[in-house]
C-alpha cells in the first residue's frame, strides 16, 4: 500500500460539484492499493497514521498526534500512486490493484481507521473526484509498505 498523508486545516472532496466528504483539522489520505497488499499492511498503516506526531504542541514542536488534537481524516482512493513512468510519457498503472480487490481493501482500511475513534470521511472509490484542501505547513508524509 502507498499512502500520502497531508496535514490539513480543512479539506473537501466533491463529485460533480457535490461534496461527499469533508474534514477540518486533520489529514487527507491519498490511498493506493496493490494486489499484494494484505490486512497486515492495513493494520500497520492504521497504527502509524493515527499515531503520527506531526501536529504542534504548545511549544510549536511537532509532538501531537491526530488523536491528541481530535482531528479527522478524509480518505481518498488513488490508484495513480502506483503509476509507472519508466517508459514513454504515458504512465502505466499495471502495479495498481485490480479494482474489485482494491475497493475491498480500501473499505477495510477505512473501517479499521474508524475503530481507532478517529472520525473518517471518504470519497467514492473509482469516481472522478475534486479535492480542495488547505495544506498545513505544508506537511506531507509518504508511507509505502513495500519499503518498511
Distance of alpha carbon 96 from alpha carbon 16, whole angstroms? 25
Active site residue 85: no
Distance of alpha carbon 64 from alpha carbon 42, whole angstroms? 22
Active site residue 80: yes
Q: Which of 6, 50, 78, 122 is catalytic?
A: 78
Q: Which of 27, 55, 79, 125 is catalytic?
A: 79
Q: Which of 38, 80, 115, 140 is catalytic?
A: 80
Strands (E), the chain: 2-15, 18-23, 26-32, 55-56, 62-64, 72-77, 120-122, 130-144
Active site residue 22: no
Which residues are identified as catalytic? 78-80
Amino acid at each position: 500500500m502507498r499512502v500520502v498523508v497531508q496535514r490539513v486545516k480543512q479539506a473537501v472532496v466533491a463529485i460533480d460539484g457535490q461534496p461527499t466528504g469533508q474534514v477540518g483539522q486533520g489529514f487527507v489520505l491519498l490511498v493506493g492499493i496493490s494486489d499484494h497488499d494484505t490486512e497486515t499492511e492495513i493494520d500497520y498503516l492504521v497504527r502509524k497514521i493515527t499515531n503520527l506526531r506531526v501536529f504542534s504542541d504548545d511549544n510549536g514542536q511537532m509532538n501531537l498526534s491526530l488523536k491528541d488534537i481530535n482531528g479527522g481524516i478524509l480518505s481518498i482512493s488513488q490508484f495513480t500512486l502506483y503509476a509507472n513512468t519508466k517508459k514513454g510519457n504515458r504512465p502505466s498503472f499495471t502495479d495498481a490493484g485490480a479494482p474489485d480487490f482494491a475497493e475491498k481493501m480500501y473499505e477495510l482500511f477505512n473501517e479499521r481507521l474508524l475503530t481507532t475513534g478517529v472520525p473518517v470521511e471518504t470519497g467514492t472509490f473509482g469516481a472522478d473526484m475534486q479535492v480542495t484542501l488547505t495544506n498545513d505547513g505544508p506537511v506531507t508524509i509518504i508511507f509505502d509498505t513495500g519499503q518498511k
